[in-house]
Amino acid sequence: VNPQITKRLLARQIAAANSLPTPEIIPVLAADLENEHPHLVMPFIPGNDLQTWHTTNHSQPLPVLLWVARQIAQGLQ
């Protein structure tokens, strides 16, 4: 992977996350784009990612699934 592309993508991620003051988006606390291994520092949120949650909770009732979909939509809004 091209390091310059990685740095540009991380810079866009930082700008996007920090421009959205909503609880559905995890903020970027710090970033280092100049080292050999660029990275972001974000708060630790306990739990699983959405794919894991879906795999283990695929039989959730419709209201729960709609709540999750609404949280995602609000974060993307």
Report the distance separating Cα 12 and Cα 21, nearest Å.
16
Q: Which residues of the chain are modeled with pLDDT < 50?
A: none
pTM of the model: 0.55
Strand partners, 39: 32
pLDDT per residue as tens digits for the range 56-72 = 877 888 888 888 888 88
